[in-house]
Structure 1
């Protein structure tokens, strides 16, 4: 299967917390960072997700937000530090490549206004933020 989702991060499930309707799937990425997905319990059961299982975590580039400093109290659990390796500006949006600390990469697509307001340039350290509800889980 080929996907249009640019961010495909390999990892191993650390835990699956199943609730009545939703499940939280906590994964350790190859970079050593942790990434959590909030998916339906039905999906977790159908995929038979268990700790120790290899998975691919999927995140659309438009679901990645960037911060230039530490983030205070915020509900976003997925916070991956890294460094901008490239910026490609378009008419309204900019595509940024971020090398994640420990290895791996993310692509973020943000508005040009955000890039300008944050004064983002190649080499800047950033924190990539992704809500758990915006992460999908794939298995082979």
Structure 2
């Protein structure tokens, strides 16, 4: 399936014969050599033999035949039962891909659900990911400022190069995901009368604190129920006496916000 598909599946026969096993059989069929087939399928020579022997024991009949020397030279070929097994796999794989394409097309007819699944499918190390709607774009000759309103009503502001904004084809009203690494979030418990230049500042309540060997993950719940996570050194946690139920403000620069939009 294509990378844009909403569905995937791992096809197996008998709960253990998977794509890699059949890639080995296919390679043996194509090369006539276990050694070359093992390299093609990503096995060691010993690992390929162990797999084939184990499968043959379970099938109660051999899957390969080997010959040494002779008029036609040595080599390895699949037994008739292995050929049949490989044929069944190819047919099932084709049917499975056809089924997935049909179901993917059906899901894409449900735009709200399809959008939700695509957002969940995005894989990134950024701990903070908020879906929202672009409500303002301030485009300059070099940089562009984008405001994204998220579910809790907060407006997250991102700054990017104007060339990046053009490449993303940003527009007011378009759905977007704001991503912020937890290490980019600073927690403030007392401003002491000072104002900070950081564009994004969100007050909330510490709802969870997970202490690690060196640093802690501190979860701040904002009004509306949105959770924002900061990575804080244990020394800072102790110095500020951070605790669940304490009020704090999450602060991060607009340059620390990445914006993702669905590909056209």
Give the TM-score taking structure 2 as reference length: 0.51
Report what 1:121 is aligned to.
243
Residue 198 of structure 2: SS of its match in structure 1?
Answer: coil
The answer as to 2:249 corresponding to 1:99 is no
1:74: which partner in 2? 196
Q: Figure out how many residues of one structure are paired with residues of the other and give that number.
A: 140
Partner of 2:138: 17
- Could you say which residue in structure 2 is the equivalent of 1:64? 185
CA distance in 1, matches of 2:194, 2:175: 32
Deviations 1:33-54 (A, max 9, x none): 1110001111110111111111
Aligned residue among 108, 111, 118 for 2:230: 108
Structure 1: 4+ residue segments shifted above 4 A: none
- Tell me by how many angstroms 1:103 deviates: 2.2
CA drift at 1:7: 0.4
Higher relative contact order (CA 8 A, sep 6+): 1
Q: Distance in 2 between matches of 1:105 and 1:40?
A: 28
Task: Say what the alpha-carbon RMSD is for the aligned residues.
Answer: 1.3
| Structure 2 stretches lacking a partner, 5+ long | 1-121
Q: 2:127 aligns to what?
A: 6
TM-score by structure 1 length?
Answer: 0.94
Q: Post-superposition shift, 1:72?
A: 2.7
SS of equivalent residue, structure 2 residue 137: strand
Which has more helix, going by share of residues?
2
Q: Is contact 1:80-1:101 (8 Å) kept? A: no
Give deviations 1:81-111, integer Å, cap 9, x for gaps. 1111111112221111111112211111011
Is the contact between residue 13 and residue 27 of structure 1 (CA under 8 Å) also seen in structure 2?
Answer: yes
